[in-house]
């Protein structure tokens, strides 16, 4: 089973498309001996080599820059609002989006979010969670490099009330009794909490749980604490999405931001060879990136490195994961990328904040079992044999999206089918989900997922997938094909 985009393979593919700079360094004489290039040829070779090095640097540093752009925008408020909150404070999303929502692609209607960016440079922040009475929730914590280093929640820590002190890499101290330490690799941390929500009628119960999620600086733990208002920086772009801000960045702006972030969020020691490569093109942690001090050919080669890298990463994102019955199953290295810088960059670009596969896996289908695009002109069935429902220990759902990856307006305002719903099984115990524009009839309407008039796609979300076979984690279970109905 394909487990991910190997960094070496992905980056090699990216760089191969830039042209063979080695072929431009020297030419051959008739007897096979190398012939020195002209001055113009040498300059062109240096530009090409610099572009390749720049693309490698962008692939490596993109997750760190994306995290910082997201942090800047979503913490630049005086008080929690929408999906933003001051540093070290939660913002709780209180309701599901509808078909008019276009701020985030492929939104879910399974969980309500509780999001917070932490700054641990001044000391630990204590996360307090309430008793959820068996309800599934998770609090995945991402470091500045987008790796999930901890994920408190039902799967890992249960559903009893608890306190977790999130401490930065350099903190030394003693914690109060009853507080569990979680050591963060970087001082920048993003918590993307999710609480299972079984439809709008479940909102009051979930809101009560969300109100029990608290963040407290360690010195204030156990005392009455009111978080201070946030400081709003008018220079921060609050209108442009972080990914679009990234796409507008010049190479100079990108590498300057990367150099600053490398100082405050040092990478693992294993990345030392990469830092040496960055130094060779003028990117040094904590130092200003100054292209004017570089060889002019190198500076020119670096100019287009951001745009080229983004173009190639976007193209690579279409092939992420393993194909199975028309579905694409995400790589099982999400959230734990190691040295797979290519996969890490792709995910940061198109799906920042991905869960660990052990917490949730999201296969998606854009085609039916025969490879034809899903389209509202047809009627489809997703059939699960008896005993072969998605093996998830929490719950599962199937959500439908239009070509832009947003919800589809429909007469029953249903955007997903979920295992908590009163789905009707067939007499033999199997289950059919009907995916089509018009109602399949009153008797089947409980299992109807309204489709778009044009092309559409599906995402199967499996929360807390089963670890033992049959399991999507080891490939022993695969989603059934989406098939056309007669």
216 with 97, same domain? yes
Query: Which residue, 274, 240, 237, is CA-closest to 62?
Result: 274
Domain termination residue (choose one: 272, 302, 324):
324
Question: Is the same domain home to 107 and 215?
Answer: yes
pLDDT at 41: 82
384 and 468 share a domain? Answer: yes
Q: Are 110 and 206 within one domain?
A: yes
210 plus 267 within the same structural domain: no
In a domain? residue 193: yes
Distance CA 87, CA 33 (A): 62
* Burial degree of 69 (CB within 10 A; 0-12, 13-18, 19+): buried
Co-location of 56 and 98 in the same domain: no
Residue 310, SS3?
A: helix
Q: Return the pLDDT at 318.
A: 79
Q: In this structure, what token pair is assigned to residue 249?
A: 């960045």
ω into residue 276 within 30 of 0, thus cis? Answer: no
Residue (of 142, 166, 169, 124) closest to 266 by Cα position: 169
Whether residue 261 lies inside any domain: the answer is yes
CA distances from 294 to 25, 274, 279, 302, 307 (A): 20, 19, 11, 10, 20
Does the residue 170 lie in any domain? yes
Q: What is the predicted pLDDT for the residue at 40? A: 77
pLDDT of residue 216: 98
φ, ψ for residue 400, nearest 5 deg: -110, 140
Asked if residue 56 and residue 152 are part of one domain, the reply reads no
Q: What is the pLDDT of residue 38?
A: 63
Give dist(CA 326, CA 191) in Å, integer.
Answer: 33
Domain that holds residue 466: 362-484
User: Which residue ranges of the chain lie beneath pLDDT 50?
Assistant: 1-9, 12, 15-35
Give the integer Cα–Cα distance in Å for 467 and 60.
Answer: 31
On whether both 214 and 281 belong to a single domain, the answer is: no
pLDDT of residue 321: 87
The rounded Cα 237 to chain-centroid distance in angstroms is 21
**Cβ atoms 326, 367 nearer than 8 A:** yes
- Give the CATH number, domain containing residue 472: 2.60.120.600
Closest CA to 95 of 115, 77, 111: 111
For 131-149, b where at least 16 C-beta lie within 10 A, e where not — what string? Answer: ebeebbbbbbbbbbbbbbb
Count of the separate structural domains present in the chain: 3
Do 190 and 108 belong together in one domain? yes
CATH assignment at residue 184? 2.60.40.1610
> Within a domain: residue 101?
yes
Give me the pLDDT at residue 403, please: 92
- Does an H or E element contain 344, and which? helix 341-351
Q: How many CB atoms lie within 10 A of CB 295?
A: 15
Here the tokens at position 193 are: 């909490």
| Distance (Å, whole) CA 268 – CA 262 | 11
Tell me: the pLDDT tens digits for 125-177?
A: 999 999 999 999 999 999 999 999 999 999 999 999 999 999 999 999 999 99
Q: 107 lies in a domain?
A: yes
Q: Does any domain span residue 145?
A: yes
The two structure tokens encoding residue 452: 């778009």
| Listed residues 300, 324, 348: the one ending a domain | 324
Residue 189 shares a structural domain with residue 264? no
Per DSSP, 447 falls in state G
Pairing of strands 448-450, 431-436: parallel
163 HSE (CA, 13 A, CB side) = 15
pLDDT at position 14: 52
Measured CA to CA, the distance from residue 219 to residue 221 in angstroms comes to 6
Same domain, 118 and 64: no
- Tokens (6 digits) for 332: 């099982």
Query: Which of 220, 251, 279 represents a domain boundary (last residue)?
Result: 220
Q: 457-465 and 364-365 as β-strands: parallel, antiparallel, unpaired? A: antiparallel
User: Quick check: is 82 in a domain?
Assistant: no
Structure tokens at 99: 């078909």
Residue 354 lies in a domain: no
Domain co-membership, 118 together with 166: yes
């Amino acid at each position: 089973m394909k487990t991910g985009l190997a960094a070496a393979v992905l980056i090699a593919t990216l760089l191969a498309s830039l042209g063979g700079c080695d072929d431009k360094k020297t030419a051959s004489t008739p007897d096979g001996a190398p012939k020195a290039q002209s001055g113009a040829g040498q300059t062109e070779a240096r530009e090409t080599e610099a572009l390749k090095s720049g693309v490698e640097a962008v692939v490596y540093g993109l997750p760190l820059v994306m995290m910082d752009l997201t942090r800047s925008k979503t913490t630049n408020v005086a008080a929690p609002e929408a999906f933003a909150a001051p540093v070290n404070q939660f913002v709780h999303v209180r309701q599901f989006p509808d078909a008019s929502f276009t701020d985030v692609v492929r939104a879910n209607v399974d969980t309500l979010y509780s999001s917070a960016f932490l700054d641990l440079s001044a000391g630990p922040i204590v996360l307090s969670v309430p008793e959820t009475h068996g309800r599934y929730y998770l609090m995945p914590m991402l470091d500045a490099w987008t790796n999930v280093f901890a994920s408190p929640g039902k799967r890992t820590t249960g559903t009893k009330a608890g306190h977790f002190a999130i401490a930065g890499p350099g903190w030394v101290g003693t914690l109060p009794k009853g507080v569990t330490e979680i050591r963060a690799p970087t001082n920048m941390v993003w918590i993307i909490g999710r609480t299972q929500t079984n439809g709008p009628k479940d909102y009051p119960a979930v809101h009560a749980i969300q109100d029990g999620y608290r963040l407290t600086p360690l010195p204030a733990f156990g005392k009455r604490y009111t978080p201070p208002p946030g400081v709003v920086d008018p220079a921060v772009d609050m209108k442009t999405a972080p990914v679009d801000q990234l796409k507008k960045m010049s190479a100079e702006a990108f590498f300057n931001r990367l150099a600053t972030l490398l100082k405050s969020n040092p990478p693992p020691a294993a990345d030392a060879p990469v830092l040496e490569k960055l130094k060779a093109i003028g990117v040094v942690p904590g130092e200003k990136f100054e292209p004017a001090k570089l060889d002019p050919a190198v500076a020119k080669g670096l100019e287009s490195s951001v745009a080229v890298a983004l173009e190639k990463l976007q193209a690579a994102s279409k092939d992420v994961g393993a194909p199975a019955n028309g579905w694409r199953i995400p790589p099982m290295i999400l959230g734990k990328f190691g040295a797979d810088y290519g996969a890490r960059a792709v995910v940061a670009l198109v799906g920042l904040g991905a869960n660990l596969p052990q917490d949730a896996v999201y296969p998606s289908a854009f085609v039916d079992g025969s490879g034809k695009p899903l389209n509202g002109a047809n009627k489809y069935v997703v059939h699960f044999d008896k005993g072969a429902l998605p093996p998830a220990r929490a719950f599962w759902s199937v959500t439908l999206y239009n070509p832009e990856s947003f919800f589809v307006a429909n007469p029953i305002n249903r955007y997903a089918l979920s295992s908590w719903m009163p789905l009707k099984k067939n007499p033999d115990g199997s289950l059919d989900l009907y995916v089509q524009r018009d109602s399949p009839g009153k008797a089947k309407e409980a299992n109807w997922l309204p489709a778009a008039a044009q092309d559409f796609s599906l995402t199967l979300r499996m929360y807390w997938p089963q670890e033992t076979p049959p399991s999507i984690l080891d490939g022993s279970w695969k989603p059934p094909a989406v098939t056309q109905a007669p």
